[in-house]
Structure 1
Amino acid sequence: MPVALRAEWTKLWTLPGTAWLLLGAAVGTAGLGALAAAACSPGECGADPTRTSLTGIHIGQSVLAVLAVLVIGGEYATGMMRVTLAALPRRPAVLAAKAAVLAAVVLPAAAVAVPVAVLSADGPSPAGGGAVLRAAAGSVLYLLLVALLALGVTAVVRQPAAAIGAVLGLLYLFPIVAMSMSDEDWQRRLQKLGPMSAGQSIQATTGLDELPIGPWAGLGVLALWAAGALLVGALVLQARDA
């Protein structure tokens, strides 16, 4: 495993866009959040200034999903995956190393961007500091889980462009379909099942009783999506030729 980790770390930083994508995710998350918070006078954008300040998560998750896709999809596109698997025959270990290295760069970027965004909130949250800390810590984990979900999906799909489309479709399909439903019960069911709609409940600091799913339970739904994608990705990687 140490050999696989060193190899994946080296490959990650030889990707031409790694540093720029991490910077883009951090700046997008913090910058758009600060702009959203600045655009709202107190009380104008609802009673949850913390959630408003986390609007930039939508940009951050998309950029990190692209990075995660490139971590494995780029190797399939260039044929480098055959060399990787020849040097490291334990295929699940290769995917595990990619996930660990991805987490090692995503977590610091998210841990910087999310607090900056939260600190830009216009006024303290009515729910108090504990809820704000939970929203901030949960949002860091949310970005990590989205990246791992994208990594797992790409291990299955393989083609970078198709994988990016699949990941973004998976994130945004449930909210779009839920909005088109006239039945409120079905709306809530879809919001509970969707990786993005459920996962982003962690951002809420007020009105928790009105959420389709609780903050930590919603993040747990996203974690199940990510774990499922990685598991299927590992099985596909093990079963199919490179």
Structure 2
Amino acid sequence: MSFPSNARLMNTADGTWRGDLGRALRAEWTKLRTAGDAGRLLLLAVALTVAVGCGTAKAVKCPDTGCGQDAVKLALTGVTVGQAVITVFAVLAVGGEYGTGMIRTTLTAVPNRLTVLTAKATVITTAVLASGTGAVLVSLFAGRYILPGNGFTEAHGYAPLSLADGPTLRAALGSVLYLALIALLALGVATAVRGAATAIGIVLGLLYLFPVITQVVHDPEWQRHLQQIAPMTAGLAVQATVDLPGLPIGPWAGLGTLAAWAASAMLAGGLLLQRRDV
């Protein structure tokens, strides 16, 4: 009697996992494509990001040389609002299924729960990267034409916004990655707590209440430390293009902090998804 070799067993297992992942990816993409709310939420995120960025660019003036404003960050201010919609979009990918009971069908079709979570994360991240890229590019394009009318001119030390400029390119790329990480953070939290409303509250609290709490702290050193670990404050440091030494945390290090939050949430969500019945 002959037995399958270890290599053959590993190849079979690998092939099965890839087949399950492919099936799960197709299923998640179909859900995203056919769910009207998902498309509307992504369009709303783009619209709010661009609208708030344009409004900020129109509102802020630079009457003299050295007015101390960061033109790139002004144009990308809308990311701080668009992220709330991205949070809702990502949470509903899991929370919505728990609310309707569809999660049982999903886990029956693909029993490997980590495969399901991987597929959801891949589809959601891809969608957010695409919509986020559009929102950031349009925001910068609008800022390029609005800001000079408010004094952000070469005479005042501001060149037109351009992706050919290294710091501007870093801010643009970082903003897109920031939104993708926010989506993964929201997905991980939603998988862990299962309830959509609870997950949205937790993520929005981390994003918007953390900076408020930081401002209540009067000790400058503690305030700086809190800013270094706050998901939004640290993550959005990647948008800064002026006075980098004065930041609580560097641009890429700040984005790394947000990545750590997202990874922790996904890890917790994955572990709990495997241990629970549903």
Bin the TM-score by the shorter chain: over 0.9
Contact 2:181 2:258 in 1 (8 A): yes
Match of 1:47 among 58, 63, 69: 69
Which structure is larger by alpha-carbon Rg, 1 or 2? 2
Is residue 110 of structure 1 aligned with residue 132 of structure 2? Answer: yes
Instruction: Summarize the alignment of residues 108-147 of structure 1 with structure 2, pairs less than 5 Å apart.
Output: 108-121=130-143, 122=147, 123=152, 126=158, 129-147=165-183
CA distance in 2, matches of 1:15, 1:225: 28
CA distance in 1, matches of 2:273, 2:200: 18
CA distance in 2, matches of 1:43, 1:66: 39
Contact 1:48 1:126 in 2 (8 A): no
Match of 2:211 among 175, 179, 182: 175
| Deviation at residue 13 of structure 1 after TM alignment | 2.4
What RMSD over aligned residues (CA atoms) do the two structures have, in Å? 1.6
Is residue 32 of structure 1 aligned with residue 52 of structure 2? Answer: yes
Q: Which residue of 1 aligns with 2:231?
A: 195
Is residue 15 of structure 1 aligned with residue 19 of structure 2? Answer: no
CA distance in 1, matches of 2:227, 2:250: 11
| Deviation at residue 126 of structure 1 after TM alignment | 4.7
Contact 2:193 2:199 in 1 (8 A): yes
| Deviation at residue 16 of structure 1 after TM alignment | 3.0
1:96-138 CA distance string (max 9 Å, x none): 0000000111111110111211233314785981111100110
Q: Which residue of 1 aligns with 2:247?
A: 211
Contact 1:178 1:187 in 2 (8 A): yes
Q: Which residue of 2 aligns with 1:65?
A: 87
Match of 1:97 among 116, 119, 122: 119
Q: TM-score by structure 2 length?
A: 0.84
1:39-96 CA distance string (max 9 Å, x none): 1222587421111111111221000000000001100000111111111000001000
Contact 2:32 2:39 in 1 (8 A): no
Q: TM-score by structure 1 length?
A: 0.96
In structure 2, stretches of 5+ residues that fail to align are 1-20
Q: Which residue of 2 aligns with 1:229?
A: 265
SS where residue 36 of structure 2 aligns? coil
Count of aligned positions: 242
SS where residue 60 of structure 2 aligns? coil
In structure 1, stretches of 5+ residues that fail to align are none
Moved more, 86-95 or 38-47: 38-47
CA distance in 2, matches of 1:174, 1:211: 17
CA distance in 1, matches of 2:203, 2:34: 24
Distance 1:39 1:93, change over 3 A: same
Contact 2:49 2:77 in 1 (8 A): yes
Contact 1:107 1:144 in 2 (8 A): yes
CA distance in 1, matches of 2:119, 2:268: 16
Is residue 148 of structure 1 aligned with residue 184 of structure 2? Answer: yes
